A = this chain, B = another copy of it.
Amino acid sequence: MITLEKIADQANVSVSTVSKALSGHKAISQKTKDRIRQIADELGYTPNANAQSLVNKRANTIGVVYEVEFGLRNLFFSAVLEEFRRNAQLNGYDILLLSNNNEKNIDYFRHCQSKNVDGVLIVSIGSAPIEAINKLTQSSMAVITLDPLHSGLNTIYSDSYAGIQKSCQHLYDLGHRKIAYVNGSYTNLIGQQRLNGYLDFIKAHKLKPIYNAKQSNESYTFSEGYQTMKYLLTEFGLPDAVVCASDLMAMGTITLLQKRGYKIPDDVSVVGFDNLSVCEIATPRLTTIAQDYEGIGKKAWDLMIHMLNTDDRKKEPIIVDTQLVVRESTTTRK
């Protein structure tokens, strides 16, 4: 077994320096860190969380605010959390899912202090009181949010605007011109970005917008997709293709169209958004815009470690690119 002592011996530094270097401690220069990391890698060293904790005086615990509709059954948020958890675990950190204590006057900051967490990831704040969230993000703790509505800083999220435009472009390239949009939320930033991506594309290509401007869909569910497509069919007739704000909405859209006797993709092409695992098992398999879960989880973890090791608390938002994944729910216009 490779110990810190062996690495220290080889690097000709103290054990404490090795430990600090490997855990990214700010007292060690980047050059030394790189050198020690390389020696550790060459020797095949695997870090031991407890030893790290002793040096850092850390609890090796990351608190998570996860006020998410449907909880861990929410396919999107649980996929993001899983990628973050995987990175945290690789580094010996536990994830503490912070209970709201069934209280209206929840104080996450105090709660985090009493539980001795090192940093906090806010996956989604749902209906949690904004005061409690602000107290967290304005504290000196390392706090990262994946929910861009509530904090401009230290936030990581997908480029929804460009994502929806990729979706539109894919359908346009297939020859479709009557392109409808099954919308998400109109009350938060991400939902607005998706709508604007659609509307700007439609305008730039001189097409007619086909969407429900009046009804905001807050939950991105199958049922909301189903209802929205029902409305669009009645109001606008059959489109060539449909851009959806989520995969589950796309599956609701497809189900409604199939019930009305239309074939997907022969009669109507449909694109989702998210790239949930259900895309693979849907019939037909769903073409979608993939959010980079791995990238988001990894970047969130890297930022967390950076913030834990420094006093840096004001990082600009990190916008993560999306990618078109073509499967079976889209085809050329007949």
Contact = CB atoms under 8 A, between A and B. Distances in A.
Interface of A: 46-50, 59-61, 70-73, 75, 78-79, 81-82, 85-86, 88-103, 114-115, 222, 248, 251-252, 254-255, 258, 277-278, 280-283
A258 B252 CA distance: 20
A187 B258 CA distance: 41
A49 B222 CA distance: 36
Contacts of A96: 61, 94-97
Nearest to A93: B99
A49 B110 CA distance: 12
Contact of A102 (B75, B89, B251): B89
Contacts of A278: 278, 281
Contacts of A85: 71-72, 97
Nearest to A78: B72
Nearest to A276: B73
A328 to B, nearest CB: 11
A219 B60 CA distance: 31
Contacts of A101: 48-49, 89, 92
A104 to B, nearest CB: 8
A72 to B, nearest CB: 4
Nearest to A252: B281
Contact of A99 (B75, B88, B255, B277): B88
Given A46-B102, A47-B102, A72-B78, A248 B281 contact: yes
Nearest to A285: B255
Given A85-B97, A255-B281, A281-B251, A103 B73 contact: no
Contacts of A95: 96-97, 99
Nearest to A259: B283
A170 B91 CA distance: 49
Given A47-B102, A61-B115, A222 B97 contact: no
A118 to B, nearest CB: 13
Contacts of A88: 99
Nearest to A68: B82
Contacts of A78: 72-73, 78
17 contacts: A46-B103, A47-B102, A61-B96, A72-B82, A72-B85, A91-B102, A92-B99, A94-B98, A95-B97, A95-B99, A96-B96, A97-B97, A252-B281, A254-B283, A255-B283, A282-B283, A283-B283
A23 B86 CA distance: 34
A252 B116 CA distance: 45
